Structure 1
Amino acid sequence: MVFSRFLRKPAIPAPRVPEGQIVYAIGDVHGRLDCLEDLLARIDADPDRGDRRVKLVFLGDLIDRGPRSRDVVERVMTLCAASEDVTCLCGNHEELLLHAADGARQALGIFARAGGRETLLSYGVDEAAYEQADLKGVAQLVRDHVPAAHLDFLRALPDQLVLGDYVMVHAGIRPGVALEAQKASDLRWIRAPFLDHAGRFERFVVHGHTVTTEPDVRANRIGIDTGAYRSGRLTALVLHDDVRRFLATALPEGAGIGVG
């Protein structure tokens, strides 16, 4: 006689990326070109690359808060233009910049509080001119100083990328909603309904957006926004076969993580 208490549920296989690939998912850069260049050098030197096909995925929020947003955008644009194996997703900060360029009043107010000042200064806006501008004036500064090619690049960014058993997004996904039915606003902005969900998702989720001191590893998701704009630690999740590990820039001695 077989008793149910002795029966074991079959183990859930570890999520995998497509065979022959190695994926580097890069968290929120937020204008820290120095951290980005450091991390890209670490990726180039990674011994696990071997002869695997290398895929780079930027999880969004290239801009705001840090000092060199323009240079980060140009660096990522160059990488994307050079290879179809480089993808950049749209984050909520890219969305804010695009809405600011369109003159959306609510977005302009948030943009100013969320690091938009630093972004516009990186594009050559005079600090005094920024400080004197009202919301309408800030929108004009965006249109006058951010190249159309940059805005076009940001407008074309996708909101999610499926790689094997993984889905890459900026902020997260809404539980109970199929991937193809997810709203862009959730993929770019969601927090609590996603972060608090303990059940399985349609695919294993890799995301940024929510700052944690170390990568936030859960049974159904991994968050890799380690607050580079303040901490100096920019993190990449490395995936190949069913293996996952992390690469990161060094955290300066005494540095802390700022949540925001």
Structure 2
Amino acid sequence: MSRLLRRLIGTRRNPPRVPDGCCVYAIGDIHGRSDLLEKLLDRIWGDAPQSANTLIFLGDYVDRGPSAKSVMECLVQLERPGWDIVRLRGNHEEILLEYLKNPDVYQAWRSFGGAETLLSYGVRPPMFSDAEELRRVHAEFMEALPRAHLALLNGLSFSHSIGDYFFVHAGVRPGVALDRQMPEDTLWIRDEFLSCDASFGKVVVHGHSPSEKPILRPNRIGIDTGAYATGTLTAVKFVSDRCTFLSTDDK
């Protein structure tokens, strides 16, 4: 087909798809809402076909909501025959890991909802900002944090790819190949990614930027529906070239 003819009638692009015979689910930002996570997992288990299934968590398991420890425990223990479980890192897990290295990071972590995470582990947040108080709380949290939770935090991946989809927490840097993305961008990027209309090479499935409803665009799918504030946790499902959404709420 000539270039002029393609301009006149356009080109037909095949819809993005996952490999035949598999079903893929991805869950958006949980932020300490273990109640919503349990409900959504029940929906997914009941919805999934009897075939090869993959479940991907897009990060931000801790902070803001009241039950970060319960969410982490669920992620640690979650196994299901016939399922591939993928756990990705979010920016909130990243700042938690930084806090574990340096108690002074609490000043920044607090604005991210770190106090709620401390409370979920039975640790009273600092009342003051002096170094002694920060060290006390840090030591208590290090004692309260199960080794299995720490191992999970350190082992989280930055991205995952299946078929024509690329799964990541925040997004990708436009103009950079998917296999050359910087970890910092996969965790934190927002405006440059959200405003880009160009193809990223694959459809990017992400969380990080909350919206009232899932965002479905040709180059990206956003499924952070602000669970900790809205009470709605969302997942996206891919089978062949079909894409649907599942959600649960606290009503």
Task: Tell me, yes or no, whether TM beats 0.5.
Answer: yes
State the alpha-carbon separation in 2 of the partners of residues 80 and 59 from structure 1: 17
Query: Which residue does the alignment assign to 1:114?
Result: 112
Structure 2: runs of 5+ lacking an equivalent: none
How far residue 6 of structure 1 moved from its aligned partner, in angstroms, is 7.6
2:223 aligns to what SS in structure 1?
A: strand
Q: Kindly indicate whether the alpha-carbon contact (under 8 Å) linking 2:36 and 2:250 is maintained by their aligned counterparts in 1.
A: no
Distance 1:81 1:151, change over 3 A: farther
Q: Kindly indicate whether the alpha-carbon contact (under 8 Å) linking 1:173 and 1:187 is maintained by their aligned counterparts in 2.
A: yes
1:109 aligns to what SS in structure 2?
A: helix
State the alpha-carbon separation in 1 of the partners of residues 77 and 195 from structure 2: 37
State the alpha-carbon separation in 1 of the partners of residues 196 and 79 from structure 2: 33
Cα deviations by residue, 1:212-232 (Å, 9 ceiling, x for unpaired): 000011120010000001111
Query: Which residue does the alignment assign to 2:245?
Result: 246
Q: Kindly indicate whether the alpha-carbon contact (under 8 Å) linking 1:227 and 1:234 is maintained by their aligned counterparts in 2.
A: yes
State the alpha-carbon separation in 2 of the partners of residues 195 and 151 from structure 1: 31
Q: Kindly indicate whether the alpha-carbon contact (under 8 Å) linking 1:62 and 1:72 is maintained by their aligned counterparts in 2.
A: yes
How far residue 140 of structure 1 moved from its aligned partner, in angstroms, is 2.7
Q: Kindly indicate whether the alpha-carbon contact (under 8 Å) linking 2:53 and 2:83 is maintained by their aligned counterparts in 1.
A: no
Cα deviations by residue, 1:72-115 (Å, 9 ceiling, x for unpaired): 0110111159776001100000011110000063x422211111
**Identical residues among aligned pairs (%):** 44
- Normalising by structure 2, report the TM-score: 0.91
Q: Which one of the candidate residues 125, 131, 147 is aligned to 2:127?
A: 131
1:92-241 map, 5 Å: 92-103=91-102, 105=104, 107-125=105-123, 127=124, 130-132=126-128, 134-241=133-240
Aligned-pair RMSD on alpha carbons? Answer: 2.1
How many residue pairs end up in the alignment? 246
Distance 1:232 1:4, change over 3 A: same
Distance 1:180 1:62, change over 3 A: same
- Segments of 4+ in structure 1 off by > 6 A? 81-84
Cα deviations by residue, 1:95-151 (Å, 9 ceiling, x for unpaired): 11110000063x4222111111111111111x3x53246444443333222123211
2:207 aligns to what SS in structure 1?
A: strand
Q: Kindly indicate whether the alpha-carbon contact (under 8 Å) linking 2:55 and 2:83 is maintained by their aligned counterparts in 1.
A: no
Distance 1:140 1:84, change over 3 A: farther
Structure 1: runs of 5+ lacking an equivalent: 253-260
Q: Kindly indicate whether the alpha-carbon contact (under 8 Å) linking 1:159 and 1:170 is maintained by their aligned counterparts in 2.
A: yes
Distance 1:243 1:140, change over 3 A: same
